[in-house]
Chain A
Amino acid sequence: MRQEPFVVPGKLVVPYRYFVGRLASKALIALRDDKKVMGVRCPTCNLTYMPPRSTCGRCFSKLEELVEVGDKGTVLTYTVVYHKEPVHPMEPPFVYGLIKLDGADTALPHFIGEVEPEKVSIGMKVQAVFKDKREGNILDIKYFKPQ
Chain B
Amino acid sequence: MAERVAIVGVGQTYHRSRRPDVNQVELMNEAVRAALDDAQLTLKDIDAVVMGNMELFEGNYLVDMWASDGIGSYLKPGMKITTGGTTGATISCAAFTYAASGLFNTVLAVAFEKQDEGDTRAGLISVRDPLWDRFMAIGAVATFARMGRSYMRASGCQEEHAALLRVKADRGACRNPYAHLKLNLTIEDVMNSRMLIWPMRLLYMCPTTVGAAALVVASERKAKKITKKPVWVQDWVTVHQQSARVHRPGEEARVRTIGVGETSHERAAQLIYKRNGITKPIRDIDVAEIYEPSTWGELIWYELYGFCEPGEGWRWAEKGVTDMEGEFPVNPSGGVVATNPIGATAMIRIVEAALQVRGDAGEHQMTRPVRRAFTTAWGGQNWTVATLLSKSI
A-side residues, CB < 8 A to B, are 8, 10, 12, 14-24, 53-58, 60
Complex Cα distance, B373 from A109, in Å, reads 49
Contact B59 A55 (CB under 8 A): no
B-side residues, CB < 8 A to A, are 19-23, 25-26, 29, 42-43, 58-60, 68-70, 72, 74, 114, 116-119, 122-123, 126, 130-131
Since A14-B118, A23-B26 are in contact, a sample of 4 more A-B pairs with Cβ atoms closer than 8 Å, ordered by chain A residue number, is A8-B130, A12-B126, A19-B19, A54-B29
Contact B21 A22 (CB under 8 A): yes
- Across chains A and B, which 5 residue pairs bring their CB atoms closest together, nearest first? A16-B59, A57-B69, A57-B74, A21-B23, A60-B43
Complex Cα distance, B68 from A57, in Å, reads 7
A-B residue pairs in contact (CB < 8 Å), sample of 29: A8-B131, A10-B130, A12-B126, A14-B122, A14-B123, A15-B119, A16-B58, A16-B59, A16-B117, A16-B118, A16-B119, A17-B117, A18-B60, A19-B20, A19-B116, A19-B117, A20-B23, A22-B22, A22-B26, A53-B69, A54-B26, A54-B70, A55-B26, A55-B69, A55-B70, A56-B69, A57-B69, A58-B74, A60-B43
Contact A53 B72 (CB under 8 A): no
Complex Cα distance, B122 from A19, in Å, reads 19
Residues on B with beta carbons closer than 8 Å to the beta carbon of A56:
69
Contact A60 B72 (CB under 8 A): yes
Complex Cα distance, B26 from A21, in Å, reads 8
Contact B42 A60 (CB under 8 A): yes
Complex Cα distance, B39 from A118, in Å, reads 56
Residues on A with beta carbons closer than 8 Å to the beta carbon of B126:
12, 14
Q: Which of A10, A54, A57, A58 has the most CB of B within 10 A?
A: A57
Contact A24 B117 (CB under 8 A): no
Specify which of B22, B42, B59 is in contact with A19 (CB 8 Å cutoff).
Answer: B22
Complex Cα distance, B43 from A17, in Å, reads 31
Complex Cα distance, B190 from A96, in Å, reads 56
Residues on A with beta carbons closer than 8 Å to the beta carbon of B116:
17, 19
Complex Cα distance, B21 from A19, in Å, reads 8
Residues on A with beta carbons closer than 8 Å to the beta carbon of B43:
60
Residues on B with beta carbons closer than 8 Å to the beta carbon of A53:
25, 69-70
Contact A14 B119 (CB under 8 A): yes
Residues on A with beta carbons closer than 8 Å to the beta carbon of B23:
18-21, 24
Residues on B with beta carbons closer than 8 Å to the beta carbon of A20:
23
- Of chain B, the residue at the smallest CB distance from A24 is B23
Residues on B with beta carbons closer than 8 Å to the beta carbon of A23:
26
Least CB distance from A123 to B in Å reads 28
Q: Which of B26, B29, B59, B117 has the most CB of A within 10 A?
A: B26
Q: Which of A12, A54, A60 has the most CB of B within 10 A?
A: A60
- Of chain B, the residue at the smallest CB distance from A18 is B117
Least CB distance from B280 to A in Å reads 46
Residues on B with beta carbons closer than 8 Å to the beta carbon of A16:
58-60, 117-119
Residues on B with beta carbons closer than 8 Å to the beta carbon of A22:
21-22, 26
Residues on A with beta carbons closer than 8 Å to the beta carbon of B114:
19
Residues on B with beta carbons closer than 8 Å to the beta carbon of A54:
25-26, 29, 70
Least CB distance from B10 to A in Å reads 19
Residues on B with beta carbons closer than 8 Å to the beta carbon of A60:
42-43, 72
Residues on B with beta carbons closer than 8 Å to the beta carbon of A18:
23, 58, 60, 117
Complex Cα distance, B122 from A49, in Å, reads 36
Knowing A14-B119, A14-B122, A16-B59, the reply to whether A55 touches B25 (Cβ < 8 A) is yes
Residues on A with beta carbons closer than 8 Å to the beta carbon of B68:
57
Contact B60 A55 (CB under 8 A): no
Complex Cα distance, B72 from A53, in Å, reads 13
Complex Cα distance, B19 from A22, in Å, reads 10
Residues on B with beta carbons closer than 8 Å to the beta carbon of A17:
116-118
Complex Cα distance, B60 from A5, in Å, reads 32
